């Protein structure tokens, strides 16, 4: 299925979605079916439906119905979704009772002609809307319950259409609505997912007259495709005391409300961009009773050393309530490189009946110069349309403190056709995505630049001059592939919508699209980013001049491990000395020297750095 524009997006970068595919499996939870209508203990099942009889029901209460303009697309099925963009064998739900059937909302199938029994996509797609509605349940004896069900789904191309709604007035109104897709992105297939919804507050008004419905909402964007499969629906009585951690995160970002990329999830923070990190946990009181003396603990460790151990106290946590708890006061990581592991724990003055869901974890890193969102190893790759066409792949970043950007790093994957010898270029763009601020010199790919599966090699693309970045501003860094061969750029991680981008010839033509798989494209604030390990000897490093070829002038970067008397000379091909710069005694660190090339004739030259008993040389070209 192709990509489409996002409807109603609130973010300035309103680009359509880039397809992403990949399973996201969860293990089904099993509970023994019991009947409803009498008081039970926590964990007991008071309603169970496995759809063995389809809409007629197999629950001891009554039949299911369908509703809405396209409710008839809910069908009892024994095979997976079928259609022009579906695979009935590969996308079937992996529920515990799949053998006796399940309910399927067949959106993809309904948008096909089926001429000759072959699913052929219609010329124009129709968005669908329909509900699968439960029988009326009397839960007055057990008003503190949760809904649990198993699902498989895939949607295109904007907001997800999957919701559970609750009525306590015979279906006249459905005032309580639960998003049961959160955590899954557009075009990503999920073949099994167990979801739980606390119903206590939703049914409190009239627990004797409860209905739930699985609502495929046509008001959301892109409901023409693909499918929703539902099976093994349970109503389970809550325990008295059950705190449940439903989310644990390093930060929190919402494209509908966030004004900058400040609170995106970054995998690496450079020293220059260290700032308060919004550690937070989302907790549900999934029990039937209020809880008191609740403690939320944030523990941050680096290589086993405690960096933060902070408690947040909630005096009273009402039953059915959901709270997002942030670290307070703020936590700013120290300027010490390493991986920071965060453990989140929730506890109370009561004994939790299900303590296995009372903690969570996350991690992030600190590095001296690298600013990253990817997870560090090449887990997959982006190759545009999979052919030789050009494309550009980008990540957004927020700059909290003014600094200079020296280069852009990228991880490339092997396996493409004609990759070696291709040219790529780094581009710094403003936060509006369209304004180009600066570009690096072109880089010709060599075999040693390429990673195998799970490789972690990054190659630097360096700007001719450092690019000043303003505090409080968003920037986007990109790698441009000019075409002529197949280029695979590494990916690893999940990007928030409207924060990572690809420019290519997509379904809407040559345009910008956002991608939810994180490109391995990083910012580098390292003044010595142009100096590779092969360019170092005896504590001295010499980088390639930029620009190269040079016209009026060029800049040479060098690095000293210890202070030393330093000279830089330039010779032509005959060995004639044309420049000699006595740089005096230079301290340890990275240095930049400008060479005037305005009066040099066109041709090839060699520049040499002498320091600390070492002499390093590189080739440069002058073209006027």
Q: What is the pLDDT of residues 405-419, one digit of tens each?
A: 999 999 999 999 999
Q: Are 162 and 248 members of one domain?
A: no
Residue 115 φ/ψ, nearest 5 degrees = -65, 130
Q: How far apart are CA 444 and CA 441, in angstroms?
A: 10
Average pLDDT of the segment spanning 146-154: 96
Average pLDDT of the segment spanning 432-444: 95
Q: What is the pLDDT of residues 87-130, one digit of tens each?
A: 999 999 999 999 999 999 999 999 999 888 889 988 888 899 99
Q: Are 283 and 354 members of one domain?
A: yes
Residues pairing with 579 in the sheet: 570
Range name among 28-42, 253-267, 325-339 with the lowest pLDDT average: 28-42
Q: What is the pairing mode between strands 450-451 and 412-413? A: parallel
- Has residue 6 been placed in a domain? no
Burial label for 330, CB within 10 Å (0-12, 13-18, 19+), is exposed
Q: Domain of 587: which CATH number? A: 2.60.40.380
Please tell me the total number of residues recorded for the chain in this structure. 624
Burial label for 552, CB within 10 Å (0-12, 13-18, 19+), is exposed
pLDDT at position 158? 66
pLDDT band at 197 (very low <50, low <70, confident <90, very high): very high
pLDDT at position 221? 64
% of the chain with per-residue pLDDT over 70: 93
**Where does a domain end: 524, 549, 564?**
524
Residue 45 φ/ψ, nearest 5 degrees = -90, 120
pLDDT band at 222 (very low <50, low <70, confident <90, very high): low
Q: What is the pLDDT of residues 562-585, one digit of tens each?
A: 999 999 999 999 999 999 999 999
Q: Domain of 220: which CATH number? A: 2.60.120.200
**Where does a domain end: 222, 237, 252?**
237
**In the sheet where 577-586 sits, what is the strand order?**
577-586, 564-572, 603-611, 614-622
- Has residue 34 been placed in a domain? no
Q: Are 165 and 265 members of one domain?
A: no
pLDDT at position 42? 83
* Whether the Cβ atoms of residue 223 and residue 155 lie closer than 8 Å to each other: yes
- Has residue 35 been placed in a domain? no
pLDDT at position 24? 22
- DSSP letters for 424-493: EEEEEEETTSS-EEEEPPPEE--GGGEE-TT----EEEEEEEEEEE-TTEEEEEEEEE-SSS--EEEEEE
**Where does a domain end: 182, 205, 237?**
237
Q: Are 197 and 106 members of one domain?
A: yes
Residue 53 φ/ψ, nearest 5 degrees = -105, 15
Q: Supply the range of the domain harboring residue 194.
A: 45-237
pLDDT at position 32? 31
pLDDT at position 368? 95
Q: Are 185 and 75 members of one domain?
A: yes
Cα 532 to Cα 439, 448, 456, 460, 545, distances in angstroms: 20, 13, 15, 9, 13
Q: Are 584 and 457 members of one domain?
A: no
pLDDT at position 546? 87
pLDDT at position 186? 73
Q: How far apart are CA 608 and CA 128, in angstroms?
A: 69
pLDDT band at 37 (very low <50, low <70, confident <90, very high): very low
pTM for the predicted model, two decimal places: 0.79
pLDDT at position 608? 97
């Amino acid at each position: 299925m192709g990509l489409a524009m996002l409807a109603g997006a609130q973010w300035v970068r309103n680009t359509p979605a880039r397809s992403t595919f990949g399973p996201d499996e969860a293990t089904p939870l099993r509970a023994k079916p019991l009947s409803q209508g009498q008081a039970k203990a926590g964990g007991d099942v008071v309603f169970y439906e496995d759809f063995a009889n389809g809409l007629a029901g197999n629950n001891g209460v009554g039949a299911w119905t369908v509703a809405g303009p396209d409710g008839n697309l809910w069908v009892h099925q024994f095979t997976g979704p079928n259609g022009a963009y579906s695979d009935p064998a590969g996308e079937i739900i992996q529920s515990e009772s799949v053998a006796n059937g399940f309910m399927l909302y067949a959106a993809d199938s309904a948008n096909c002609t089926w001429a000759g029994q072959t699913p052929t996509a219609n010329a124009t797609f129709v968005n669908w809307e329909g509900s699968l509605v439960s029988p009326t349940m009397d839960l007055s004896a057990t008003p503190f319950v949760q809904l649990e069900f198993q699902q498989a789904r895939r949607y295109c191309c904007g907001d997800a259409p999957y919701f559970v709604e609750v009525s306590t007035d015979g279906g006249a109104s459905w005032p309580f609505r639960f998003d049961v897709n959160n955590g899954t992105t557009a075009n990503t297939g999920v073949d099994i997912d167990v979801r739980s919804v606390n119903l206590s507050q939703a049914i409190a008004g009239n627990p004797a007259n409860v209905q739930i419905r699985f609502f495929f909402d046509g008001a959301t964007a892109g409901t023409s495709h693909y499918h929703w499969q539902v099976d093994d629906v349970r109503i389970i009585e809550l325990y008295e005391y059950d705190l449940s951690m439903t989310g644990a995160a390093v930060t929190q970002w919402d494209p509908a409300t966030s004004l900058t990329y400040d609170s995106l999830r970054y995998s690496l923070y450079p020293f220059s961009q260290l700032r308060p990190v919004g550690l937070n946990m989302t907790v549900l009181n999934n029990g039937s009773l209020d809880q008191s003396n609740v403690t939320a603990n944030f523990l941050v460790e680096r290589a086993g050393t405690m960096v933060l151990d902070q408690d947040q106290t909630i005096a009273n946590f009402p039953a059915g309530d959901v709270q997002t708890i942030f670290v307070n006061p703020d936590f700013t990581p120290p300027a010490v490189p390493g991986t920071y592991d965060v453990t989140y724990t929730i506890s109370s003055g009561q004994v939790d009946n299900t303590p296995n869901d009372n903690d969570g974890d996350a991690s992030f890193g600190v590095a001296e110069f690298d600013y990253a969102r990817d997870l560090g190893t090449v887990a997959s790759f982006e190759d545009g349309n999979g052919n030789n066409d050009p494309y550009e792949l980008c990540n957004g970043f927020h700059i909290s403190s003014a600094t200079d950007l020296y280069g852009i790093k990228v991880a490339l994957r092997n396996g493409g056709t004609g990759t070696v010898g291709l040219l790529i270029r780094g581009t710094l763009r403003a936060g509006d995505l369209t304004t180009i601020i600066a570009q690096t010199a072109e880089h010709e790919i060599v075999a040693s630049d390429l990673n195998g599966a799970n490789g972690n090699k990054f190659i630097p693309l360096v700007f001719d001059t450092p690019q000043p970045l303003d505090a409080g501003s968003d920037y986007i860094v990109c790698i441009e592939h000019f075409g002529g061969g197949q280029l695979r750029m590494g990916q690893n991680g999940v990007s928030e919508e409207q924060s990572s981008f690809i420019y290519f010839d997509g379904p809407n033509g040559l345009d910008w699209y956002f991608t939810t798989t994180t490109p391995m494209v990083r910012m580098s604030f390292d003044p010595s980013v142009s100096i590779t390990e092969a360019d170092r000897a005896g504590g001295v490093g010499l980088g390639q001049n930029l620009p190269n070829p040079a016209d009026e002038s060029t800049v040479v970067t060098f690095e000293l491990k210890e202070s030393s008397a330093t000279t830089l000379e330039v010779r032509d091909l005959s060995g004639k000395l044309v420049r000699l710069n006595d740089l005096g005694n230079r301290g340890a660190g990275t240095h930049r020297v400008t060479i005037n090339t305005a009066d040099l004739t066109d041709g090839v030259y060699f520049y040499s750095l002498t320091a600390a008993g070492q002499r390093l040389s590189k080739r440069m070209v002058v073209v006027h």
